[in-house]
Amino acid sequence: MREFAILTIFVLSLSVASGQPPKRSLIISHLTGDFYIYTTYGLYKGNPVPANSMYLVTTKGVVLFDTPWDSTQFQPLLDSIKIKHNKDVILCISTHFHEDRTAGLEFYRRKGIKTYTTEQTDKISKLRNEKRAGFLIYKDTLFTMGQHMFQTYYGGQGHSPDNIVIWFDKEKILYGGCLVKSMEAADLGNLSDANVKAWVATIKNIQVKFRNPDYIIPGHLDWHSKEALTHTLNLIQQYEEKSSAKKF
C-alpha cells in the first residue's frame, strides 16, 4: 500500500510535557481503489493516540467518514484532498458522538458540506455538548454517491450506545470505527460510554451481516489486519475474565 504524509511529524515530547494536544501531522494512506485512510492525533490520558478515519473519491465529489480529531487539521484535510484529487468534499458521516469522530462536523457544515450522524448520535451529542450534524440518519441507510454505494449499519451497543459501521459491498470494506479494535490494541481502550455486555453480540451481528471483508478499518492504531473483529471479541473476553476475577 502506498502511503504518504501531508505534513511533517513534529516531536511529541514538548507537547505531552506541556499538556497540549500533540502536534502530529495529517497522514493520508491509500487503501484500495478510490479509498483512502487519513489519520490525525489527539491526547488520551495524556498520551498521543492516532485516530483513523476514511474518505472515498467519487465522480460527484469526496465523502468523509468521520472527521479529524485534531482541529488544526480540519482545513488541511480539505486542502490536501483538493490538491491530490481536484475534488471537493461534499458529504461527511460520523459514526458515533465522541470527539474523535465528530469534532469537525460544525466546521464542515459551515463550509457547505452535508454532514450526517444517526438520530441516536445527535441526541447524545446534544446532551453532551458535542458537535452536531446538519442531517440525520433515522435507520440503516444505503447511500449512492457517483459510482459507489455504501451502507450504514447499527448492530447494537459496544464502544458507545450509538456506534455504527459502514459497509462497502463491492469492495468488501468494513469501516468499523471505534467499535472495532486494532490488532495492536492491548485492551478495549476508552470505556466511559461502553456497554461491554452488549459488545459481543454487536460484533457477532456484524460478522453475520457482512461476511469475509477484505479490509477492516478500526478507529485507532494499525488497520492492516483482517482479524480485527476476532481480536475485538478476544479483548472483550479478557476484560470480562479480569472483571470476574476481581469479584472474588
- 86 classed as catalytic: no
Average pLDDT over residues 7-12: 33
Are 136 and 123 in contact by the 8 Å Cβ rule? The answer is: no
Give tens-digit pLDDT for 74-88.
999 999 999 999 999
Give the count of beta carbons closer than 10 Å to the beta carbon of residue 104.
Answer: 29
**Per annotation, catalytic residue among 88, 140, 190, 224:** 190
* Of 4 and 151, more confident: 151
Return all residues near 15 (Cβ < 8 A) that are at least 6 apart: 21, 22, 23, 48
Q: Look up the pTM and report it.
A: 0.90
- Catalytic residue from among 52, 98, 148, 220: 98
Instruction: Name the catalytic one among 66, 70, 148, 159.
Output: 159
DSSP state of 104: T
Count of other CB atoms within 10 angstroms of residue 151: 16
Q: How far apart are CA 158 and CA 202, in angstroms?
A: 7
85 is known as an active-site residue: no
Task: Give the pLDDT band of residue 247 (cuts 50, 70, 90).
Answer: low
Active site residue 212: no
The yes-or-no answer on residue 148 being catalytic is no
pLDDT at 13 over 50: no
CATH (residue range 3-246) = 3.60.15.10
What is the overall mean pLDDT for the chain? Answer: 91
Whether residue 129 lies in the annotated active site: no
Element (H, E) at 181: none
**Domain parsing of the chain, residue ranges:** 3-246
Residue with cell 473519491: 57
Catalytically annotated residue among 70, 96, 162, 163: 96
